[in-house]
C-alpha cells in the first residue's frame, strides 16, 4: 500500500522509521511538510520524497501527524483528495473519530491512535481505536506498524483520554522525576555528571527489573524496603508529601485536557 504522512515532526518521523523497519519500501512512502528545512532533512535522511498535499492525501494509508488544533483544517483541505476505501490514521490527542469521519466521509476508514515519544526508539506504547469503516486489511497494516514501533493496546475510543494520561504524557512525568532526582543528588553534594549517571542507570535498571522479574511494582518496592531503613525513610516522605495524590491529579489533568482538545 502507498503510505502518505502529513507532518513529519518528532512523532511523524518516529512513525516513518517504524514503517521502514516494518518492511515498507521507501519508494512507497511520500510526505508533506510545511517547513522546507525539515522536509529537506527528512528526504535526505530517509530517502523518501516530499509531494504536494493533494497527492499525499490520495495514498492508501494516510498518517495525520499534525497538532490537534490543525486536524479539522487539514481534514477540510484534503477531503476531496482522500481516496474512497483508504484509511486515515490520526495521532492527534483528543480529536474524535466521528468528527474526522464527518469531514472525510463514511467511505474512508479512520483510526485514532495515541502513541508516545519512545516510538522513535521502537519502544513506544500506543492505544488504538478503530472507526467503523476500517477494514481487516487496513487494521492489520496499522497493527503491524505499531507493533514494530513498540507495543499497542486496542481500546474503545472513550478510553483514549486515559491512554493519553498514562502512556501518551507518561514519558514527560518520568523525565520530570529524573530531573528532580539529579537535582536532589546535586544538593547532597554530587556533581551533575555523577548524579546524572547514577540516576539514569538506576532508573533504567529498575525498569528492566520490572520487565524481567515478573513481579509487580509493589513486590519489587517492598523487597528493597527494609523497616526503618534508608529507602523506608524516603518512601515515608513520599507518602507524607502526597506523591500518590499528586500523580493521580496530574494524570486526571492530562485526561481532562485531552477531552477539552476534542
80/64 Cα distance (integer angstroms): 16
Average pLDDT, the chain: 95
What pLDDT sits at residue 5? 98
Side-by-side strand order, sheet with 87-90: 49-50, 29-32, 3-6, 61-64, 87-90, 109-114, 124-130, 150-154
What pLDDT sits at residue 23? 86
Q: Nine-digit cell at 16?
A: 516513518
Query: For the segment 140-179, what is each residue's pLDDT rounded down to a tens digit?
Result: 999 999 998 999 999 999 999 999 999 999 999 999 999 9
- Domains within the chain, CATH numbers bracketed: 3-155 (3.40.50.720), 170-260 (1.10.3730.10)
What pLDDT sits at residue 120? 87
With 90 as the cut, is the pLDDT of residue 207 above it? yes
Query: For the segment 49-104, what is each residue's pLDDT rounded down to a tens digit?
Result: 999 999 999 999 999 999 999 999 999 999 999 999 999 999 999 999 999 999 99
What pLDDT sits at residue 37? 96
Amino acid at each position: 500500500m502507498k503510505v502518505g504522512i502529513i507532518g513529519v515532526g518528532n512523532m511523524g518521523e518516529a512513525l516513518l522509521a517504524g514503517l521502514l523497519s516494518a518492511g515498507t519500501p521507501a519508494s512507497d512512502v511520500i510526505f508533506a511538510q510545511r517547513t522546507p528545512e525539515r522536509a529537506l532533512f527528512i528526504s535526505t535522511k530517509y530517502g523518501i520524497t516530499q509531494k504536494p498535499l493533494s497527492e499525499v492525501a490520495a495514498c492508501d494509508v494516510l498518517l495525520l501527524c499534525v497538532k490537534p488544533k490543525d486536524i479539522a483544517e487539514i481534514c477540510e483541505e484534503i477531503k476531496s483528495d482522500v481516496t474512497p476505501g483508504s484509511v486515515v490514521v490520526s495521532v492527534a490527542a483528543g480529536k474524535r473519530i466521528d468528527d474526522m469521519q464527518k469531514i472525510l466521509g463514511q467511505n474512508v476508514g479512520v483510526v485514532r491512535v495515541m502513541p508516545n515519544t519512545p516510538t522513535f526508539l521502537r519502544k513506544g506504547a500506543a492505544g488504538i481505536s478503530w472507526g467503523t469503516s476500517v477494514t481487516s486489511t487496513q487494521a492489520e497494516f496499522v497493527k503491524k506498524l505499531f507493533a514494530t514501533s513498540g507495543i499497542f493496546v486496542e481500546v474503545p475510543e472513550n478510553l483514549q483520554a486515559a491512554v493519553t494520561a498514562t502512556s501518551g504524557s507518561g514519558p514527560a512525568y518520568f523525565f520530570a522525576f529524573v530531573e528532580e532526582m539529579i537535582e536532589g543528588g546535586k544538593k547532597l553534594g554530587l556533581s551533575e555528571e555523577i548524579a546524572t549517571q547514577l540516576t539514569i542507570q538506576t532508573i533504567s535498571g529498575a525498569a528492566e527489573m520490572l520487565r524481567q522479574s515478573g513481579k509487580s511494582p509493589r513486590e519489587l518496592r517492598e523487597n528493597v524496603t527494609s523497616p526503618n531503613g534508608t529507602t523506608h525513610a524516603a518512601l515515608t516522605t513520599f507518602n507524607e508529601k502526597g506523591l500518590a495524590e499528586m500523580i493521580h491529579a496530574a494524570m486526571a489533568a492530562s485526561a481532562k485536557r485531552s477531552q477539552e482538545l476534542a
